[in-house]
Amino acid sequence: MPIDPPPEPPLIIEQPGKPSGPIVDMRDAFARKTPQTEEDRAQARAFIDGKIEMIRRDPHMTDAEKAAAIADLEARR
């Protein structure tokens, strides 16, 4: 049973248009509106503690690299 050849590609490829308006920095519009709760802070600390434990167990990092990375993370607690 012969296989049919694939169809020809389209002749015109549509290109996405340029944005209609100017590019604007919207970070302030999406900034946190409420202060962090104690639960938020606890979750952030737990996340950083997990990262520190990952660094301690990493067989590919030297002791100096581990110490520098852990010090950086501990400063963020």
CA separation for the pair 37, 10 (Å, rounded): 55
Q: Report the interhelical angle of 63-75 vs 38-57 (nearest 10°).
A: 180
Residue range 35-42: average pLDDT? 91
> Looking at the predicted structure, is the pLDDT value of residue 15 above 80?
no
| 47 lies in some domain | yes
What does the pLDDT read at residue 49? 95
Amino acid found at 13? I
| 64 lies in some domain | yes
| 5 lies in some domain | no
| Number of domains the chain is built from | 1
55, 66 in Cβ contact below 8 A? yes
Count of helix runs (H) and strand runs (E) in the chain = 2, 0
Query: What is the residue range of 59's domain?
Result: 37-75
Residue range 31-59: average pLDDT? 93
| 8 lies in some domain | no
Residues 6+ apart with CB under 8 A from 73: 48, 51, 52, 55
